[in-house]
A and B are shown apart, each in its own frame.
Chain A
Amino acid sequence: MRLSAFDLACRRGGREVFSGISFSVAGGEGLMVAGRNGAGKSSLLRMVAGLLRIAGGRLALEGGDSELTVGEQAHYLGHQDALKPSLSVGENLRFWSGFFGADSADVGGPLAAVGLDSLADLPAAYLSAGQRRRLSIARLLAVKRPIWLLDEPTSALDTAAQERLRDFMRVHLAGGGLILAATHGPIGLDGAPELRLDHTPTPLDEIVDQQ
């Protein structure tokens, strides 16, 4: 399986966010998407997930299911956790695993993996930001999809949970999956190549000099 992008361009609100972005990731590999705020990291991931129109260039997936779009074979972990506060932790996860067609209806395993099994009956409204994040991550474990699109996956997570996420990512890569992660800092995918989106940054001291 190989996900390749050729000369991708992104436009938002009439403004060009990035253009000429090319990359290629094979199964078992990760790609770190880096760049300053507003460089288009999230837009790139949303584009791959099929949530944003591709303004230029092309995206190709070899070795996937040709009946499905790239987005339909991908897990998108965005800034929002997609949880309903009035449903319990277990009901939230059961909904997403049912919606994405998980093989088994049992969500005990994924919940235990993210350390939320004791809170399964608690309404999601009472979760902390980090716990909400962990519940979102449990979705990636409950349903098998070969591509993971992670947008700042470590935000709000404590060090132990970050370490656990790293383990999940390593297991996913070892199983032949591929990962695109947008991040500001290292998230511990050793040796993963980095894609930098800010090719023409304006240095801060230049702006200060002009004023």
Chain B
Amino acid sequence: MTALAAVLVRDMRIAVRVGGGALMGVLFFLVVATLVPFALGPDLALLQRIGPAILWLAALLASLLALDRLFAADHEDGSLDLILTGRAPLELVVLVKGIAHWLTTGVPLVIASPLIGLMLNLDARAAGALVLTLLVGTPALTFIGLIGAALAVTLRRGGLLLAVLVLPLAVPVLIFGVAAANAAVTGPVPFGTPFTILCALTLASLVVGPFAAAAALRQEME
């Protein structure tokens, strides 16, 4: 248990220090989501209709940003070797690294999203629903991304491969995340149906992601 706590504290510290990915992700999210109203013009009805989709796309891209360094940095400086000689199961270490990554990049996105919602003409109820879908859905993006991050560890330009590998897998999360948010804004589908599926996707990725990523890491150590 102390081993996993140590990993959590270390990864969160690195993320919030200079050169860490925490601030980058949320800044990228804000910039992308801010550009859209400028590109589309002041059509409030249109912005309201496509607002949730834009925020979800921005969140998806932002959560990929820092992900490629998650294991690659540990591989390059030899930390991964030592983690493998530790007594904590690699799957749990990977899970904890994913949680640390979500806490430092996913949660800031969730907190920043109502602010962007204002710019996209979302009312309080719609913004609330959007925050809820992002809160539930962004862990799925992180844990699906873990698999890509682990596969891209030994590659020089791993970030590109990561995006190619992970974005298709993230499609279901995107569909049900946007569907749930839209249901709250425009209806007529009830909010609960897509939202429950989104929760299921997150729970499944929470289980599958760490095992797949740990298997990929073990394979690459050879």
Contacts and interface: CB of A to CB of B under 8 A. Distances in A.
Interface residues of A, number: 29
Nearest to B222: A53
Interface stretch (B15-23, B28-36, B120-128): B15-23
Contact of B85 (A72, A95, A101): A72
B157 interface: no
Interface stretch (B5-13, B165-173, B185-193, B200-208): B5-13
B40 interface: no
B160 interface: no
B82 A50 contact: no
A85 to B, nearest CB: 8
B196 to A, nearest CB: 38
A51 B13 contact: no
Interface stretch (B49-57, B73-81, B97-105, B174-182): B73-81
Given A50-B85, A86-B20, A98 B14 contact: no
B82 to A, nearest CB: 5
Contact of A68 (B78, B87, B88): B87
Nearest to A98: B6
13 contacts: A51-B84, A53-B222, A71-B85, A76-B85, A79-B78, A91-B10, A94-B6, A95-B7, A95-B9, A98-B5, A99-B86, A101-B2, A101-B3
Interface of B: 2-3, 5-7, 9-10, 13-14, 17-20, 76-79, 81-88, 221-222
Interface of A: 46, 49-53, 68, 71-72, 74-76, 78-84, 86-87, 91, 94-96, 98-101
| 7 nearest A-B pairs in the assembled complex, by CB-CB distance | A80-B78, A98-B6, A86-B17, A82-B78, A82-B79, A95-B10, A71-B85
